[in-house]
Amino acid sequence: MDAINKKSREELVAAIVRTLALFVVLVFAGPALAQTYPAKPVRIIVPFAAGGPTDVIARIVAARLTESLKQQVYVENLPGAGGNTGTATAAKAPADGHTLLVVSTGFMVNPSLYAKVPYDPVKDFQPLTLVAESPNVLFAHPSVAAGTVKELIDLVKANPGKFSYAQPSTGSTPHLSAELLKLTFGLDMVMVPFTSAALAVNATLAGHTPIGFTALPPAIANIREGKLRGLAVLAARRPAALPNVPTMTEAGVREQDAYTVTGLVMPAGAPKDIVARLNREVAVIGKLPDVRSRLEALGFIPVLNTPEEFGARIKVEMAKWGKVVRDAGLRIE
């Protein structure tokens, strides 16, 4: 009997030792993983074609992260379906910190706009940081007989169905900004969709579409040069890059602020230590004087918030633009 009890005690002690060993492994696994990260090149997926605002920010971040992480960080453009193609690819990637996704506001809008979306912005992704935001801008061809937003509203009201506006992508915040203005004032304007902001700007430059809505960066040079008439930036304050164009509120039109946001997310389940490290690294990058000045010159406002703050912003944008999509009766099958 004593031999049996002794054996049982030894087995119990062995079980306790194994449990403690497992506990130690679990406790230190996260920090160890973070210390060895990144173990291979890091991919930043851009769900749009190269050259746009989202791509520009991705490449700025990738170049600096390559230096700070001591590992190659590269951009992969996967355009298609309004950003859904690249986003779905990122959602299915391993949650090990080696795949990041640059998102714009379409990331939050598409679930309301499309009949079927292959991802859930909240459940499938871990927010990292809102890198920067760019206010949308309302502009017109110089031939349009309106020097202010109120004059434009009056002009369109007096000529229902006779004015068209250019927008860079169906479901983008510039498009929804126009729809919000239409809903607010009962305007009858013809929407002309394009596949890029550059094409929307060019159409307005040529006078084919007398009015245009885009994010600020694609239009800023032509507004500065007087080739387009900047009527208002849809922001709380005037951006440093365009100080002579009033905000919508200054123009006498309230509750029309709209930004094209650009942030970083990761597949859900990414280790917390890696999330924290990448958040710190990107924050440092965004505060570098040359990076900040470059972003501001392009019309971006650096933000660089916490994962929790960006997660909250994602939910706010989803609710705001989801309502506009429903009220305007927009839908993509």
- Asked, for residue 109, whether it belongs to a domain, the answer is yes
Residues 141 and 114 in one domain: no
Residues 187 and 227 in one domain: yes
- Asked, for residue 192, whether it belongs to a domain, the answer is yes
165: domain CATH number?
Answer: 3.40.190.10
- Asked, for residue 225, whether it belongs to a domain, the answer is yes
- Asked, for residue 114, whether it belongs to a domain, the answer is yes
Residues 267 and 320 in one domain: yes
Range of 175's domain?
135-233
- Asked, for residue 28, whether it belongs to a domain, the answer is no
Overall domain count for the chain: 2
Distances (CA, A) of 309 to 28, 128, 256, 312: 28, 9, 22, 5
- Asked, for residue 196, whether it belongs to a domain, the answer is yes
Distances (CA, A) of 206 to 140, 210, 214, 228, 236: 11, 8, 16, 10, 30
Q: What share of the chain is helix, strand, coil (3-state, %, to 5)?
A: 50, 20, 35
Q: What is the pLDDT along the chain (333 residues), one digit of tens a residue?
A: 455 455 555 655 455 545 444 444 444 444 544 568 999 999 999 998 888 778 989 999 999 999 999 999 999 999 988 899 999 999 999 999 999 999 998 999 999 999 899 999 999 999 999 999 989 999 999 999 999 999 999 999 999 999 999 999 888 899 999 999 999 999 999 999 998 888 999 999 999 999 999 999 889 999 999 999 999 999 988 888 889 999 999 999 989 999 989 999 999 999 999 999 999 999 999 999 999 988 888 778 899 999 999 999 999 999 999 999 999 999 888
- Asked, for residue 195, whether it belongs to a domain, the answer is yes
Residues 127 and 210 in one domain: no
Residues 217 and 272 in one domain: no
Largest CA distance in the chain: 104
- Asked, for residue 55, whether it belongs to a domain, the answer is yes
Residues 198 and 219 in one domain: yes
Among residues 173, 135, 133, 136, which one has the least CA distance to residue 303?
133
Among 185, 213, 233, the domain-final residue is 233
Instruction: Please give the backbone phi and psi of residue 171, each rounded to the nearest 5 degrees, phi first.
Output: 95, -10
83: domain CATH number?
Answer: 3.40.190.150
